[in-house]
Amino acid sequence: MTPIMFVQVVARQFDVGGKDGWVLKPTEDYDHWAQRNRFQVNDTLHFKYNKGSDSVVVVKKEDFDSCNINNPIQKMDGGDSTFQLSNSGLFYFISGNLDNCKNGQKLIVLVMAARQPIPRAALPPQKIPATSLTSPAPTPTDNSGSGRVGVSVGIVLMFTGFVGLV
């Protein structure tokens, strides 16, 4: 019988900037925030910001370094945006407000491979042979020698029965 495996992989959602959201000067620096979290493939980042005055732009490293918002991989401007971390590697996010980006509103996220939880196996119950071991018959009281043969035959039969069950 094959053991049944129970594996549960749960993606998590991270609120970028914590309670402050995606703002110019969060209480916790974005670099520190990213370093203290462990991001895995299929996790999501939730960006909360003021629609119309800010946005989130996913860019390449070169555009991240120079705050170039003109070559986006993806732009989110709805005020409440979610981005799925679809693969492992580095992701670069900058503010769509050029001044905010130049003043530090940017984020690098390192995404690790998908979680590989330790499977919990539900093993089937072990089959324990049901043995009914019986004691050999008591030896006769006469000393003719037949008692020893009876005991020997009883032991052989008991052993054969036990081996047959295993």
| Tokens standing for residue 55 | 């946005």
Q: Say if residues 140 and 147 touch (Cβ distance below 8 Å).
A: yes
Answer yes or no: do 91 and 23 share one domain.
yes
Range of the domain at 108: 4-112
Q: What is the pLDDT of residue 62?
A: 98
Q: Has residue 56 been placed in a domain?
A: yes
At residue 122, the pLDDT reads 54
How would you label 61-71 residue by residue, b for 16+ Cβ within 10 Å and e otherwise?
eebbeebbbee
pLDDT of 140 reads 52
Q: What is the pLDDT of residues 31-72, one digit of tens each?
A: 999 999 999 999 999 999 999 999 999 999 999 999 999 999
Compute the CA torsion angle 62, 65, 70, 74 (nearest 10 deg): 80
Do 107 and 76 sit in the same domain of this protein? yes
- For 93-152, write each residue's pLDDT tens digit: 999 999 999 999 999 999 999 766 656 655 555 665 555 555 555 555 544 444 444 444
Residue 121: inside a domain: no
Distance CA 59, CA 67 (A): 9
Note the pLDDT of residue 100: 97
One domain for residues 107 and 136: no
Beta sheet of 44-48, edge-to-edge order: 13-15, 44-48, 80-84
Do 145 and 98 lie in one domain? The reply is no
Residue 159 pLDDT grade (very low, low, confident, very high; cuts 50, 70, 90) = very low
pLDDT beyond 80 at 26: yes
Report the number of distinct structural domains present in the chain: 2
Residue 69 lies in a domain: yes
Same domain, 41 and 105: yes
Closest by CA to 134, choosing from 110, 161, 109, 152, is: 161
- The pLDDT, as a whole number, for residue 111 is 97
Q: Are 119 and 113 in contact (CB under 8 A)?
A: no
Q: What is the structure's pLDDT at 4? A: 52
Look up residue 82 and give its amino acid. T
